[in-house]
Structures are given as structure tokens and as C-alpha cells.
């Protein structure tokens, strides 16, 4: 056959169809004053005695009182649970569930940061499936439906209000377990940027870096897809443009709204594309030391960027460009290095330690941390395979 005919036949072939993509998302209410929709939203979910999960800081800030008033205005009888601490513990979830049952509650509402939201999801898991919360580590371990979930974030970073993740600390083993499943995507998420103004400065920095990590890890994840990619890139750009402003001008409502959007979009990205080694490693440090999750991410992320760049360098060009770094024409590994430096500079600017040693990690912890990392579900979608030796090396570089 003549070459011209062969070429023409090749040109006439239909392109390969894109892979099928599932995109999970709750109903989202976003914007200043959107907390005002909470009572109506709970009613639409069938609430009669909604179970409100929060922590003392959110109570002190006044947001819980406002929420309870909105629920009561809809003739609902809310039940309040406030005994949640950072990195929610297995025993806290067991106690909250016991109270949920005693009070004959129904719809579950969380108002607060990722810890409150994860605790609320834990209660929902036990309500629908029984057993112990630690029984559900892994992917799709829940066999039965759970109560409706209404999530109201007060931080700009965790993305738990839209995600299919629930992270719980196993206090006996001092590790965090990852529970993952489509059922954990909340029914309704309400993001009111007003709530972000009462965050302590350190929490603002930590959650902002968490959102950045979500965006970067989901974009290079083995499970990335075009729908999640758009959210991931936009989240990276928003964090790099606005996190510093929320630190230097905490009352700047425009910057707060942009960071709220960053958190939301990063959450939509990672719940659909999953994460990678940074989170798999960070969960172990948090479980061992009860350390702030976003801060640990901020320390680890530059090291993991450099590690992963060897597997998927071209993906880091778009990420670096979204972060505002001029990388046109540069090779991927060079763009990744510039992004790693950029992330570390941002972490410096918002007060994150340079190494894990400052958070309490020692050389003697490395082998244990690496071993536990290999069991974390987030590692499965890291773009570059990582062995025990590889993870140990990353931890040592981050000390």
C-alpha cells in the first residue's frame, strides 16, 4: 500500500475515547452568609433531632450558638456534642456515637475544622454499620447506608466537608487510619467564609498548606482525571495568591473568600483523584505525635515533590505555572524543583518549621513511621512507587 494511503487511513481513524470518569460531590452552598441556610438544609435532609458535632473553640467563637438558633427556627431539636480534639481519637468517636444513640438523634451536622467533620463521619459510620470505628480502615468497608450528613467547615484547607475520607487516630497504636468510601461524601456542604476569620493564625497557616498539598498531590496522582485537574490547579493558584494575605490582614474578606474557595476546590480534587506520599507520611507523624496535619504536610511536601518529579515531570509544569512561577519552556524536573522551593518559601512565610525534628520526630522514629506509611491508602495513588527504604530516606531528608 502506498505510504500516502497508509497515512490517510491512519488520519481517518477515530481517536481513542477518553476514559470514563466518576466525580463525587455533595450539594454545595458557598458564599458570605451561607450559614443562614443551615436550618433549611437540615430540614430538607429530614432532620428532627440533628446531632451537632463541634469543638470548644468553635463554641467560643459564637458560630455554634448561631447554628443552633437557625436549627431551632426550623422547629428542630438539636443535640450538641463538643468533645472533639484535633486529630480525632477513636475513643472520642465511640463516646460521641453512644450519645447519638442515647439522644435518638438523626441527621448529623459538623461545624468546625477537619477534626470535627471526621468525628461526625465516624459517628455516621457506626450508626449505619455498628462495630468499632477502627474496623472500617481501608476502602469501601461499609456495607450499609449511613445517616444524612451536613458539613460546615470553619477552616480553609481540610476539604473534609466534600470528601470521601475520614481520618481517625488509633490511640493504642498511635497511628492514623484512613477510612474511605463514596458513602462518606456529605449530602450538603455549606461554606461561609465568615467562619474563617476566627481561626487562630497557626491553624490558618496549617489548613492553607493542607489545601495546597491536596491540589498538588491530586494533580499528579495516578487517579487524576480532567474534572479533578481543573479544581486542583485552581486551588494551587488561589492558595499561592491569597494565603499570605490572610495571615497579614486577617480581616480581609476577599482573601478569606478566595481561601475558602481554594479549600473547597482542593477537596473536590482530592476526593476524586485521591492523594499521595505526602499525606500517607503525614498521617503517621500526626498519629504518633498528635501534630498539626497541615504543618506536617508543609514540611514534607517539597521533599515529595522532588521525589515524584522523576516519575511524572511534565505534570509539575502546569502546577508550577498555576503557582505563579514562570516555567514556560523549562523541563519538568526543573519546574518541579522551582515549585518545591516556592512551597518551602510559602511555608517559611506562614511560620511552618523547616524540619520534622522541630515537631518532635527523631531519627529513632523513622523506621516505624515508614513502615506504617506503607499501609496508608493514600500511598497507592502516588505517581512514583515507594519502598520502605524510599520512605525512610524521605523522612530523614525532612528531619
176: helix, strand or coil: strand
Give pLDDT, residue 17.
Answer: 67
> What confidence tens digit (pLDDT) does each residue in 149-160 have?
999 999 999 999
> What confidence tens digit (pLDDT) does each residue in 249-288 have?
999 999 999 999 999 999 999 999 999 999 999 999 999 9
Give pLDDT, residue 18.
Answer: 65
Residue of 17 and 83 predicted with greater confidence:
83
Mean pLDDT of the chain: 95
Give pLDDT, residue 203.
Answer: 95
Cα 180 from Cα 364, distance rounded (Å)? 30
> What confidence tens digit (pLDDT) does each residue in 24-83 have?
999 999 999 999 999 999 999 999 999 999 999 999 999 999 999 999 999 999 999 999
Give pLDDT, residue 15.
Answer: 64
Give pLDDT, residue 13.
Answer: 61
Confidence of residue 6 (pLDDT cuts 50, 70, 90): very low
Give start and end residues of each alpha helix (H) in the chain. Answer: 3-12, 38-44, 56-61, 63-73, 90-102, 114-129, 201-220, 226-248, 253-273, 277-289, 293-309, 313-322, 332-349, 366-373, 388-398
**What whole-number percentage of the chain has pLDDT above 70?**
95
Per the confidence metrics, is the pTM higher than 0.85?
A: yes
pLDDT at residue 129 tops 90: yes
Beta bridge partners of 29: 190
Q: What are phi and psi of 362, to 5 degrees?
A: -120, 165
Give pLDDT, residue 14.
Answer: 59
Confidence of residue 20 (pLDDT cuts 50, 70, 90): confident
Q: CB 9: neighbour CB atoms within 10 A?
A: 10
> What confidence tens digit (pLDDT) does each residue in 178-213 have?
999 999 999 999 999 999 999 999 999 999 999 999
Cα 163 from Cα 214, distance rounded (Å)? 11
> What confidence tens digit (pLDDT) does each residue in 308-336 have?
999 999 999 999 999 999 999 999 999 99
CATH number for the segment(s) 201-398: 1.20.1090.10
The cell for 41 is 438544609
**What whole-number percentage of the chain has pLDDT above 90?**
94
End-to-end, the C-alpha distance of the chain in Å comes to 63
Q: How far does CA 293 lie from the centroid of its chain?
A: 10
Give pLDDT, residue 21.
Answer: 86
pLDDT at residue 144 tops 60: yes
Give pLDDT, residue 2.
Answer: 46
Residue of 8 and 254 predicted with greater confidence:
254
Checking 32-37 for CB contacts under 8 A at 24+ apart, the result is: 32/192, 32/193, 32/194, 32/253, 32/257, 33/192, 33/194, 34/190, 34/191, 34/192, 35/63, 35/66, 35/67, 35/70, 35/152, 35/190, 35/192, 35/194, 35/195, 36/70, 37/190
Give pLDDT, residue 4.
Answer: 46
CA dist list (Å): 38 to 30, 197, 359 = 12, 19, 37
DSSP of 351-376, one letter per residue?
T--SSGGGGT--GGGHHHHHHHHTT-
196: helix, strand or coil: helix
Checking 307-310 for CB contacts under 8 A at 24+ apart, the result is: 307/277, 307/384, 307/386, 307/390, 307/394, 308/220, 308/276, 308/277, 308/336, 308/382, 308/383, 308/384, 309/333, 309/336, 309/337, 310/384
Whose CA is closest to 300, among 328, 332, 340, 240?
340
Pair 305, 341: CB distance under 8 Å = no
Give pLDDT, residue 8.
Answer: 45
Residue ranges of the chain assigned to CATH 1.20.1090.10: 201-398
Residue ranges of the chain assigned to CATH 3.40.50.1970: 27-195
Give pLDDT, residue 67.
Answer: 98
Q: Which residues contact 123 (CB under 8 A, 6 or more apart)?
A: 51, 53, 93, 96, 97, 100, 108
Give pLDDT, residue 1.
Answer: 44
CATH number for the segment(s) 27-195: 3.40.50.1970
Whose CA is closest to 267, among 28, 103, 69?
28
Q: Which residues of 156-173 are buried (b: 16+ CB within 10 A; e: fewer)?
A: bbbbbbbbbbbbbbeeee
Instruction: Return the residue matching grid coordinates 441556610.
Output: 37
Pair 196, 260: CB distance under 8 Å = yes
CA dist list (Å): 114 to 154, 201, 240, 293, 309 = 9, 16, 21, 10, 29
Amino acid at each position: 500500500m502506498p505510504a500516502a494511503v497508509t497515512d490517510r487511513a491512519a488520519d481517518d481513524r477515530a481517536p481513542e475515547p477518553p476514559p470514563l470518569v466518576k466525580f463525587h460531590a455533595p450539594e454545595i452552598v458557598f458564599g458570605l452568609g451561607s450559614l443562614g441556610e443551615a436550618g433549611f438544609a437540615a430540614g430538607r435532609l429530614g432532620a428532627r433531632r440533628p446531632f451537632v458535632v463541634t469543638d470548644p473553640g468553635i463554641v467560643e467563637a459564637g458560630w455554634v450558638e448561631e447554628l443552633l438558633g437557625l436549627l431551632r427556627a426550623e422547629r428542630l431539636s438539636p443535640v450538641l456534642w463538643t468533645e472533639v480534639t484535633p486529630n480525632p481519637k477513636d475513643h472520642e468517636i465511640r463516646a460521641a456515637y453512644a450519645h447519638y444513640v442515647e439522644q435518638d438523634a438523626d441527621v448529623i451536622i459538623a461545624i468546625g475544622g477537619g477534626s470535627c467533620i471526621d468525628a461526625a463521619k465516624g459517628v455516621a459510620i457506626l450508626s449505619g454499620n455498628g462495630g468499632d470505628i477502627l474496623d472500617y480502615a481501608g476502602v469501601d468497608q461499609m456495607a450499609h447506608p449511613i445517616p444524612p450528613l451536613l458539613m460546615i467547615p470553619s477552616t480553609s484547607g481540610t476539604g473534609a466537608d466534600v470528601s470521601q475520607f475520614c481520618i481517625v487516630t488509633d490511640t493504642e497504636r498511635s497511628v492514623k487510619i484512613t477510612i474511605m468510601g463514596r458513602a462518606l461524601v456529605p449530602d450538603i456542604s455549606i461554606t461561609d467564609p465568615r467562619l474563617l476569620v476566627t481561626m487562630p493564625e497557626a491553624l490558618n497557616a496549617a489548613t492553607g498548606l493542607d489545601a495546597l498539598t491536596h491540589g498538588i498531590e491530586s494533580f499528579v496522582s495516578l487517579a487524576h482525571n480532567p474534572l479533578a485537574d481543573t479544581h486542583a490547579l485552581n486551588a494551587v493558584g488561589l492558595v499561592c495568591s491569597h494565603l499570605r494575605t490572610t495571615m497579614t490582614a486577617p480581616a480581609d474578606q476577599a482573601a478569606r473568600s478566595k481561601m475558602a474557595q481554594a479549600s473547597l476546590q482542593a477537596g473536590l480534587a482530592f476526593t476524586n483523584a485521591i492523594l499521595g506520599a505526602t499525606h500517607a507520611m503525614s498521617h503517621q507523624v500526626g498519629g504518633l505525635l498528635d501534630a498539626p496535619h497541615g504543618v506536617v504536610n508543609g514540611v514534607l511536601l517539597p521533599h515529595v515533590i522532588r521525589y515524584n518529579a522523576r516519575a511524572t515531570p511534565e505534570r509539575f509544569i502546569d502546577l508550577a505555572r498555576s503557582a505563579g512561577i514562570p516555567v514556560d519552556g523549562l523541563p519538568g524536573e526543573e519546574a518541579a524543583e522551582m515549585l518545591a522551593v516556592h512551597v518551602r518559601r510559602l511555608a517559611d512565610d506562614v511560620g511552618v518549621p523547616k524540619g520534622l525534628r522541630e515537631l518532635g520526630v527523631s531519627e529513632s522514629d523513622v523506621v516505624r513511621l515508614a513502615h506504617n506509611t506503607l499501609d496508608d491508602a493514600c500511598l497507592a495513588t502516588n505517581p512514583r512507587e515507594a519502598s520502605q527504604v524510599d520512605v525512610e530516606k524521605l523522612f530523614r531528608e525532612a528531619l
